[in-house]
Structure 1
Amino acid sequence: MGDLSRYQTAWIDLRRRDPVLLSPIALTAVIGFLSVLTPHDVPFSRLLPAAPALAASVWPVRATLALGVICLLPVVGYAIALSDMTTLYTAGAIGAVTLAAVYASHLRLQREHTLAQVRAVADATQEVLLRPVPARVRNLEIATLYLAAAPQARIGGDFYAAADTPHGLRLILGDVRGKGLRAVGVAAAILGSFHEAAYECADLSQLAHRLDTTLTRYDIAVPDEDTPERFATAVIVEFPRTGTHVSVLTCGHPPPLLIRDGAALALEPTAPSPPVNLAALIGRDYHVERVPFTRGDLLLLYTDGVSETRDADGAFFPLTTWTARTSAVSPSALLRALHQALVLHSDGSLDDDIACVAVLNAPRRRDP
């Protein structure tokens, strides 16, 4: 009951902001106005049952019942005063529809309350999996963007994480093969391993092997007949505490973009590295590359949900070209502009999970 009371309060606050919720009152007023002004042989009052029926879809129980009573009493009074049996039938219809509408409103509130609880659990799950990334670590400014493919979803198969280790700031961003809860389970295993191994592994190649081992063990512990080969593409980067470079390990993932002086460069690896959990199968090792990363440089990590966003004609989003043209000077501004550009390019129909991390090599803050 306490939760429902909070829901009622939230509904009152929403009513103040959303004029659409006043539509049952407007409908009642229009029908009543027409009933008074038109001749008796034009029975607009027979439309009054529509008002409580509409209220059931947007109002709580008490408000729906109150509107039904407001519609019913004048009709009953008119029928009794004029001994009009036809109007009494209308009153009966209003009463019956009002009772059904009250029950429908009750069911809707219960379902919305359950949905709110499910969303709260999804939000908590996302906070556990995708731990908040600090906005600044030393001279690095960081921003993140996460969009699940399902309109009402909070989590998906894309993931990212950050760890400020003795080796420097380490970031991972990746995409699990598949979708849904199965992909979420794989992402959780990878992120759990990363948050521990990032502090212990001496280099990114060793870190990738640790993630590979974790996913192999996860396959054994949680077998899936529909997906015999679980794997994830990922890009792992390391910003040392000192120095003017960044180490990049691209594990079968779209290459990061380095934005420098109005130009965008895709950091294609000179030697390919396999996706996580496919190193043994493919027979390849992980190769780390060092890239200069000086003051003012901005690094963009992204999943294929960004680069493979299509427009109405099937054309991919021109990420490299767009990035070179953007005027955004901060990671957060860049990701806000990117989100808007993706929505515009796809005409609002983003159909894949999207995860992005942007890192700017900014001037160091002076201590006060």
Structure 2
Amino acid sequence: MMTVVSVADLAVGPEVVFLPLVSLGPAFAPLVGGWRRTACVGGTAVLLCVGLGWYNDLLERSQGVMSVAAVLGVTAAGLVAVSMRQEREAKLDSVSSIAEAAQRVLLKPVPRLAGGVRVAVRYMSAVAEARIGGDLYEVVTSPHGVRVIVGDVQGKGLEAVETAAVVLGAFREAAPDEADLAAVGSRLERAIARQPGAEKFVTAILAEVRSEEVTFLNYGHPAPLLVHADGTTTWPEPSSYALPLGLSDHGTEPPEPFRTSFLPGDQLLLYTDGISEARDAEGRFYPLAERAHLLKGSDPEAALETLRQDLFQHVSGPLHDDAAMLVLRHR
């Protein structure tokens, strides 16, 4: 900027004075540099201002003196702005590091191998730079089989994250202890009921893999997708859906466990409605049933990444809701 102003002033001559525009340099310097760079740009601007003032015969006039004073004033203001910006950036870095640690504690990396099952997971937050939200997942190896939860908390923001933390904490505690999967679900219900404040509910599906069978408990959650080794697909569903976790006070019956075979080579996809309800520019939902063939590969990590990329191509932009998907592959 200062070079352009100087060249223009020299080319036009003393008839047109560009001297005040030299202050653009120190005015923009605080946006991209530290205090040393800002001071260097300000010093250069003062030298240019003095040189151009001499060339335009303005140093002994009030216009030239005020131009030099303006450059000095803008430079001083820039140094103060740099100091304030660096202080805010330091605070932001500290908060970001704490938030990242909290996110890693809440949504821990799942084990790639759990019993006789290979596991892969992808989580996509609708909030930029966030790694957690209202969706949750966990895999626990217990004496009673490999137990899994995938859920979606009502609402968004910090309250949804708090509820997700309560559910995950209760699941991690109950899954290794309870012999019955329904008892794990009851523990989750009680944990949510103890939450103070506004009513919250969580759609969730619990799965328990034992040998060549998987048992489900579905609390108002989308049905999982089971891709068999021969390429055929099924959608295991209960005979009747139960209300989500947290709504047991309405007096409804808890979900009934239902079972299906889970044979070597089969892959089971558990997901939240951020996947099935993702829309493209024309408002069409993501056709998950038509994309089941993407999960036929032997590597669940690669298959899930392919499905994620296909989802982003469908929506042609950022997701409008949190989305989680977890694949279990029978080894």
Shared fold per TM-score greater than 0.5: yes
2:184 counterpart residue number: 207
One-letter amino acid of the structure 2 residue matched with residue 353 of structure 1? D
1:12 counterpart residue number: none
One-letter amino acid of the structure 1 residue matched with residue 202 of structure 2? A
**1:266 and 1:320 in contact (8 A); partners too:** no
Point out the more displaced range, 50-59 or 300-309. Answer: 50-59
Structure 1: stretches of 5+ with no match in the other structure: 1-26, 363-368
Query: 1:112-123 counterparts in 2 under 5 A?
Result: 112-123=89-100
Point out the more displaced range, 230-239 or 82-91. Answer: 82-91
Structure 2: stretches of 5+ with no match in the other structure: none
- Alignment root-mean-square deviation, CA: 2.3
- Quickly say closer, same or farther: Cα 1:161–1:111, change in 2 above 3 A: same
1:234 counterpart residue number: 204
Distance in 2, matches of 1:250 and 1:292, equals: 17
Q: Give the TM-score, by structure 2 length.
A: 0.89
1:19 counterpart residue number: none
2:84 to 102, 107, 113: 107
> What per-residue deviation string (whole Å, max 9, x for no partner) do you get for residues 202-242 of structure 1?
12111101111111122xxx2x2xx3x321111111122xx
Q: State the shift of 1:143 in Å.
A: 1.7
Point out the more displaced range, 298-307 or 320-329. Answer: 320-329
**Secondary structure of the equivalent of 1:199?**
coil
- Calculate percent identity across the aligned residue pairs: 37
1:349 counterpart residue number: 318
1:309 counterpart residue number: 278
- Quickly say closer, same or farther: Cα 1:342–1:108, change in 2 above 3 A: farther
Distance in 2, matches of 1:312 and 1:273, equals: 33
Q: Does 1:131 align with 2:108?
A: yes
Distance in 1, matches of 2:311 and 2:96, equals: 25
Distance in 2, matches of 1:282 and 1:338, equals: 39
- Quickly say closer, same or farther: Cα 1:69–1:215, change in 2 above 3 A: same
> What per-residue deviation string (whole Å, max 9, x for no partner) do you get for residues 83-114 of structure 1?
42444443333222222222222222222222
Q: Does 1:251 align with 2:219?
A: yes
> What per-residue deviation string (whole Å, max 9, x for no partner) do you get for residues 128-187 of structure 1?
211221122244221222222222433211111121111121111101112111112211
Point out the more displaced range, 205-214 or 30-39. Answer: 30-39
Distance in 2, matches of 1:295 and 1:195, equals: 27
Q: Does 1:182 align with 2:159?
A: yes
Q: State the shift of 1:40 in Å.
A: 3.7
**Secondary structure of the equivalent of 2:217?**
strand
Q: Give the TM-score, by structure 1 length.
A: 0.81
Q: Does 1:292 align with 2:267?
A: no
- Quickly say closer, same or farther: Cα 1:336–1:281, change in 2 above 3 A: same
**Secondary structure of the equivalent of 1:270?**
coil
1:359 counterpart residue number: 328
Query: 1:329-348 counterparts in 2 under 5 A?
Result: 329-348=298-317
**1:122 and 1:154 in contact (8 A); partners too:** no
**Secondary structure of the equivalent of 1:296?**
coil
2:32 counterpart residue number: 58
Aligned residue pairs total: 327
**2:133 and 2:160 in contact (8 A); partners too:** yes
1:281 to 245, 250, 261: 250
- Quickly say closer, same or farther: Cα 1:48–1:353, change in 2 above 3 A: same
Q: State the shift of 1:253 in Å.
A: 0.5
One-letter amino acid of the structure 2 residue matched with residue 155 of structure 1? I
**2:268 and 2:329 in contact (8 A); partners too:** yes
- Quickly say closer, same or farther: Cα 1:75–1:231, change in 2 above 3 A: same
2:74 counterpart residue number: 97
Point out the more displaced range, 76-85 or 101-110. Answer: 76-85
